[in-house]
Amino acid sequence: MHGHNITFKRFVADNVFDFVHIFGYKFRLPYMPAVENIGLEPANHRGSDWLWDGSNTRLDHGTGFQWYINPWGPDVGDLRTWTDINGGSWVSMGNMPLDTEWHEVRLVLDVQREATALLNRRHALPVPFQPDTEATQLG
């Protein structure tokens, strides 16, 4: 299950932080990750939304998550989010069993209120707002 999709859309606007940004997409695993699938090497699925403050601080503001789908690991199904606490790390925010169903993800980013939301399968999951963060940590 190799693949990497980075979607980038440039918006140049001085008031970009005055709005609530809603980013969404749908995805599904093409097959069930299993230890018997030697050579397919799944790792994780990641989704994030970032705004870059290029005219002022030149820093990113955003949020993201990771769904750990590696069947060889003890944390299979773990949902994680990136945090800058203690130098930065992925921290668990719940678990979602692996399946091949379609999943719809919505990330909400409100920079003015430093608020975020992650919605998946009609459940809200805790994802922290990451001010002044380098987005390369999620790449």
The per-residue pLDDT for range 68-85, each reduced to its tens digit, is: 998 888 899 998 887 777
Phi, psi of 136 (to 5 degrees): -65, -20
Q: Give this prediction's pTM.
A: 0.76
pLDDT of 100 reads: 92
pLDDT at 40 over 70: no
pLDDT at 125 over 70: no
Residue 132's closest CA among 81, 31, 62?
62
Average pLDDT over residues 52-56: 79
Half-sphere exposure of residue 87: CA atoms within 13 angstroms, side-chain side: 0
On whether the CB atoms of residues 35 and 53 are closer than 8 A, the answer is no
Domain ranges of the chain: 19-51+67-125
Six-digit token string for 85: 């606490």
